[in-house]
């Protein structure tokens, strides 16, 4: 059954712009540079016919590969004495911790090559975010410092130690402060090392400041309940979720953990039981969370307080002034309040603002809904965000007054990420001695006296306590690559403690954390964590002043009202900018805009029309005295009169991949009533420059084919087959192919569109696992990104309750605010009747007896017939040797960085096709492991890289010949359909229809 909805990936596809139509005609975005390629191969179009045809017969890609100066030499160095724990070809796994999440690090021959979630851990035990998946690459970053430095010159560690100790003694003698400026510290080891330093130098103090601040939540909870903490949110207990500008599935607090919880009420298992939560989102820019909401209302940043006031009034019967005026938002608030009241104790309201008054309003609402002790937990609180904007501001004041003798910066870069960098620089000049533990001479470290580069987490001993009662270990998987030293060890040395860091961590755990536990030190190293158990979550009575909070919030909102309102947000990949030099993260498309390698000004298409902005336009954005020119993305879903800009870009001293990528948006922020605000009144003016963004959203158009299925929860309850639109339900199919039995395994996959949030962590995990190269901004502009897996994002639009199905009707709308989104992972479908196989002249792509479409890279010579014949457009052509070509130098094309490569996967040569292999190396490893144990492969033994990275469990892989496997059960679900089933290619991946729990239901 065909849907009447009009789905489109981008405005250019919707409007069928001439440029889009022209690029859609050919297989590639631009003409193939035959003359250049042949010249590079030592040929030309004037070459004698015999030689020319000989070259073409071998394949242009193979010719250019053969024309290289020499075949790369790979040196093999045998073990003199083989380490006992290493068996060549067999991976080792170590538990560790990254950003508070317990993880497993896979190593091969002593090299860390992969990071995945620890499946046995408490909390987030399924999936990782894109930053975690890509973190292994940072170990092999050549731009990191190789040793300690003083005033920009390399020095021995003994020289640095004596210099630091002298500075500490001088500060102590003068009675000056010794300040450690750090992002949130939740490591018991680090806190103990700081305590050692404080014991020797009593004027030492710790200042915690986070680039993205949550101090308003802490202060609001202190005022409302007497608990100065960031609570834990239990979205799995919520039947109704209302979010006001909180991207809780993306970058707000513990996004991956929230995803794992949230999806439990929305995936195929929950729907099968007749249960689905309802999610209402109010926001200005279209976030990842907003794109997954059942109901999304576009509002301005200045209206966030008004929405919460209206919600509070509707729930409590109060009549606070300043409620929301917009009709659509009013209606949504009324319906949301009704739902929330009907689900007291099983509902939650979250707000993304860093304004204490707005958070106080949210607290008052949640208290009225009896959320504390149920969906909100103030007792088993989060320790991930403890920074205080007020405390850091006071540090700057003290430094300017000459009261700080020594300042040590730990995981902190305020010269880049504080909104007034010049104020930070001026204050640092008044400090006698300054030092950073940064791994590189970043924006702050390069301004300081000395740098004591710390190890990466893969080279360190340590720990974390991300939540009350939960402790996670950090253990090294490799010796320090450079002459660096762990920050904790440096603090101990300067405190006069000669204990080595391993013994220090071990002693701390055995004497305190493991006291009374059944675990010992060795068992902790194996499991990776210690959990003391959850406290009983208590209910709390609201003790704040809601009237004062409402009045102050409305007054603050008036200060940002203007022709345009600016909202800053975190990029889901680069986050606050700490990952800017990770090329994998630079190239992963943004979940919503699909832009890579840049930030931009996102504005509503109607606002762009008023400003006279065309394709590839740029604008000048000015707010809070800061002005910058940015490329424009005409973003459906953006509230009229608003502009959204991502922070985390504009780094200048981070490394080859990240330097000068995008523009720094932190200076747009401001300090208001003690907290950093990411909203401002802005002016926007058309600039005269043209800038082409590397945006992937329409690179692989499906030319209007009906590939999305969508229904409502009400329709699903009446008919589970609703809108699944399976072709075979109504049509008879005919085969020209012989049928073959598959008695062994039949590997298939199911993807739940209701669970996929579009985050992109699967893309990064696939890149790392399968040695997929980074191609850079210019190549992405040419539609040459190499990702084997992409997530297609489709828009559809509604206004005034009506679905618009025609382009002409959509053009007449007053705005593009009210869009809904479907995210669809798209990869090789491993078709049983694969159209790519029939056109390959050399049998480079063939079907296996286990149902997989294989690629023999050494057979392929790049005719690209297969890509042309693939209806899903999931094959990639290697235009260059991206790993060994200086034109693609994102610090990846050197022998050192290439140590990150997975030895189980071939690095592909120039001139061949590549695509998803369904992680065949993992399949073979799982079969071999089962054989060694003299048993059959069990369901769950084999997991794909994308599946393992998915926090939502949206991707399910397994053996269709096992009727009890999870994938077999999933594919028997009534919502399952197969994309382009009507052309009878018989894909091996089934999708589950998207379900929305709308108000109309």
DSSP string, 502-532: HHHHHHHIIIIITTT-S--HHHHHHH-EEE-
SS3 at position 351: strand
pLDDT digits (tens, 9 = 90+) for 618-658: 999 999 999 999 999 999 999 999 999 999 999 999 999 99
| pLDDT tens by residue, 797-821 | 765 445 555 555 555 556 788 889 9
Picking from 542, 535, 512, 537, the residue whose alpha carbon sits closest to that of residue 524 is 512
Residue 779 CA from chain centroid, whole number: 22
Q: In the predicted model, is pLDDT for residue 700 greater than 70?
A: no
Q: pTM above 0.85? A: yes
- What DSSP letter does each residue of 812-867 carry, written as one string? TSS-S--EEEEEEEE-----TT-HHHHH-TT--EEE-TTS-EEE-TTT-----HHH
Write down the pLDDT at residue 1001.
Answer: 43
Indicate whether 28 pLDDT > 80: no
Q: What is the pLDDT, as a whole number, of residue 261?
A: 94
Position 888 scores a pLDDT of 75
Work out the average pLDDT over 697-710: 74
Q: Check residue 88 and give its pLDDT.
A: 79
Q: Which of 630, 722, 752, 738 is nearest to 684 (CA)?
A: 630
pLDDT for the residue 61: 37
Which of 591-605, 697-711, 840-854, 888-902 shows the lowest per-residue confidence on average (mean pLDDT)? Answer: 697-711
Q: Reply yes or no on whether the pLDDT at 731 is more than 90.
A: no
Beta strands at 595-596 and 564-570: parallel, antiparallel or unpaired: unpaired
Dump the DSSP string for 90-156.
--EEEEEEETTEEEEEEEETTEEEEEEE-TT-SS--S---HHHHHGGGGGG-TTS-SS-EETTEE--
Confidence of residue 697 (pLDDT cuts 50, 70, 90): confident
What is the distance between the terminal CA atoms of the chain, rounded to a whole angstrom? 21
User: Given this model, what pLDDT does residue 457 score?
Assistant: 94
Average pLDDT over residues 241-268: 93
Query: Could you give phi then psi for residue 689, rounded to 5 degrees?
Result: -100, 160
Helices 356-368 and 304-316, interaxial angle, to 10°?
A: 20
- Element at 236 (helix H, strand E): none
Rg (CA), the chain: 28
In 10 A of CB 91, how many CB atoms? 17
């Amino acid at each position: 059954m065909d849907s009447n909805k009009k789905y489109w990936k981008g405005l250019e596809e919707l409007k069928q712009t001439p440029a889009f139509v022209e690029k859609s005609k050919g297989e590639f975005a631009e003409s193939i540079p035959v003359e250049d390629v042949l010249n590079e191969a030592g040929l030309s179009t004037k070459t004698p016919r015999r030689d020319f045809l000989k070259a073409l017969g071998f394949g242009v890609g193979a010719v250019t590969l053969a024309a290289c100066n020499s075949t790369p030499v790979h040196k093999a160095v045998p073990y003199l004495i083989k380490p006992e724990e290493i068996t060549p070809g067999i991976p080792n796994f170590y538990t560790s911790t990254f950003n508070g999440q317990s993880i497993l690090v896979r190593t091969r021959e002593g090299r860390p090559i992969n990071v995945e979630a620890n499946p046995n851990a408490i909390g987030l035990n399924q999936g990782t975010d894109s930053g975690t998946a890509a973190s292994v690459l940072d170990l092999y970053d050549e731009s990191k410092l190789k040793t300690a430095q003083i005033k920009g010159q390399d020095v021995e560690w003994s020289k640095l130690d004596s210099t630091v100790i002298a500075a500490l003694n001088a500060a102590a003698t003068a009675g000056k402060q010794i300040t450690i400026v750090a992002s949130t510290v939740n490591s018991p080891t680090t806190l103990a090392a700081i305590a050692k330093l404080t014991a020797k130098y009593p004027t030492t103090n710790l200042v915690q400041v986070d680039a993205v601040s949550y101090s308003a939540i802490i202060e609001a909870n202190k005022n409302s309940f007497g608990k100065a903490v960031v609570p834990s949110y239990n979205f799995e207990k919520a039947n109704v979720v209302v979010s006001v500008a909180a991207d809780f599935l993306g970058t707000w607090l513990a996004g991956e953990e929230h995803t794992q919880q949230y999806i439990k009420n929305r995936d195929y298992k929950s729907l099968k039981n007749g249960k689905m939560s309802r999610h209402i989102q109010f926001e200005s820019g279209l976030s990842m969370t907003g794109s997954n909401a059942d109901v999304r209302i576009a509002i301005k940043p200045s209206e966030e307080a008004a929405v919460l006031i209206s919600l509070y009034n509707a729930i409590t019967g109060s009549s606070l002034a300043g409620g929301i005026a917009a009709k659509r938002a009013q209606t949504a608030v009324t319906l949301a309040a009704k739902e929330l009241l009907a689900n007291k104790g099983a509902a939650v309201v979250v707000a993304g603002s860093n304004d204490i008054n707005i958070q106080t309003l949210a607290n008052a609402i949640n208290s009225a809904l009896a959320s504390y002790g149920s969906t909100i937990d103030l007792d088993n609180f989060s320790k991930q965000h403890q920074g205080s904007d007020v405390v850091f501001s006071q540090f700057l004041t003290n430094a300017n007054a000459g009261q700080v003798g020594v300042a040590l910066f730990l995981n902190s870069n305020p010269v880049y990420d504080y909104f007034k960098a010049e104020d930070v620089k001026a204050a640092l000049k008044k400090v006698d001695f300054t030092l950073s533990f940064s791994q590189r001479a970043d924006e702050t470290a390069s301004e300081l006296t000395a740098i004591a580069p710390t190890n990466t987490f893969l080279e360190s001993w340590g720990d974390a306590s991300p939540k009350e009662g939960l402790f996670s270990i950090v253990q090294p998987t490799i010796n320090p690559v450079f002459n660096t030293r762990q920050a904790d060890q440096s603090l101990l040395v300067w405190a006069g403690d000669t204990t080595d860091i391993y013994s220090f961590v071990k002693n701390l755990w055995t004497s305190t954390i493991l006291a009374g536990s059944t675990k010992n030190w060795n068992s902790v190293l194996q499991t990776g964590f210690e959990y003391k158990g959850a406290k009983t979550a208590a209910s709390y009575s609201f003790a704040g002043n809601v009237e004062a909070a409402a009045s102050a919030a409305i007054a603050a909102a008036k200060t940002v009202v203007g022709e345009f309102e600016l909202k800053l947000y975190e990029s889901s990949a680069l986050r606050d900018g700490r990952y800017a030099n990770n090329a994998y993260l630079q190239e992963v498309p943004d979940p919503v805009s699909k832009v890579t390698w840049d930030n931009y000004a996102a504005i509503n298409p109607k606002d762009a029309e008023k400003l006279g902005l065309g394709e590839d336009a740029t604008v000048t954005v000015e707010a809070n005295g800061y002005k910058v020119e940015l490329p424009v993305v005409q973003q459906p879903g953006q509230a009229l009169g608003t502009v959204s800009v991502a922070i985390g870009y504009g780094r200048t001293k981070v490394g080859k991949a990240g330097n000068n990528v995008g523009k720094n948006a932190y200076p747009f922020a401001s300090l208001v009533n003690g907290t950093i605000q990411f909203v401002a009144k802005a002016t926007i003016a058309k600039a005269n420059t043209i800038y082409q963004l590397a945006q992937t959203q329409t690179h692989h158009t499906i030319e209007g084919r009906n590939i999305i299925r969508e229904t409502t929860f009400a329709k699903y309850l009446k008919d589970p087959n609703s809108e699944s639109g399976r072709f075979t339900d109504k049509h008879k199919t005919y085969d020209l192919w012989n049928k073959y039995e598959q008695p062994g395994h039949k590997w298939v996959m199911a993807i739940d569109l209701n669970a996929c949030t579009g985050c992109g962590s699967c893309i990064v995990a696939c890149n790392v696992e399968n040695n997929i190269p980074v191609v850079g901004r210019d190549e992405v502009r040419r539609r040459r990104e190499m990702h084997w897996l992409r997530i297609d994002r489709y828009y559809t639009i509604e206004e005034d309750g009506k679905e618009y199905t025609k382009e002409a009707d959509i053009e007449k709308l007053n705005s593009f605010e009210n869009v809904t989104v479907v995210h669809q992972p798209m990869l090789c479908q491993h078709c049983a009747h694969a159209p790519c196989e029939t056109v390959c002249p050399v049998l480079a792509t063939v079907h296996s007896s286990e149902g997989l479409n294989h690629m023999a890279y050494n057979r392929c010579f790049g005719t690209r017939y297969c890509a042309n014949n693939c209806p899903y457009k999931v094959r990639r052509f290697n235009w260059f040797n991206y790993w060994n070509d200086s034109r693609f130098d994102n610090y990846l094309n050197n022998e050192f960085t290439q140590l990150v490569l997975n030895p189980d996967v071939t690095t592909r040569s120039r001139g061949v096709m590549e695509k998803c292999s369904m992680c065949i190396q993992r399949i073979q490893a799982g079969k071999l492991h089962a054989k060694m144990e003299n048993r059959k492969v069990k369901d769950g033994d084999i997991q794909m890289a994308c599946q393992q990275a998915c926090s939502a469990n949206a991707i399910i892989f397994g053996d269709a010949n096992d009727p009890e496997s999870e994938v077999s059960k999933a594919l028997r679900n009534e919502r399952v359909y197969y994309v382009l089933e009507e052309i009878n290619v018989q894909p091996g991946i089934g999708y589950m229809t998207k379900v929305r729990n709308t108000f109309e239901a």
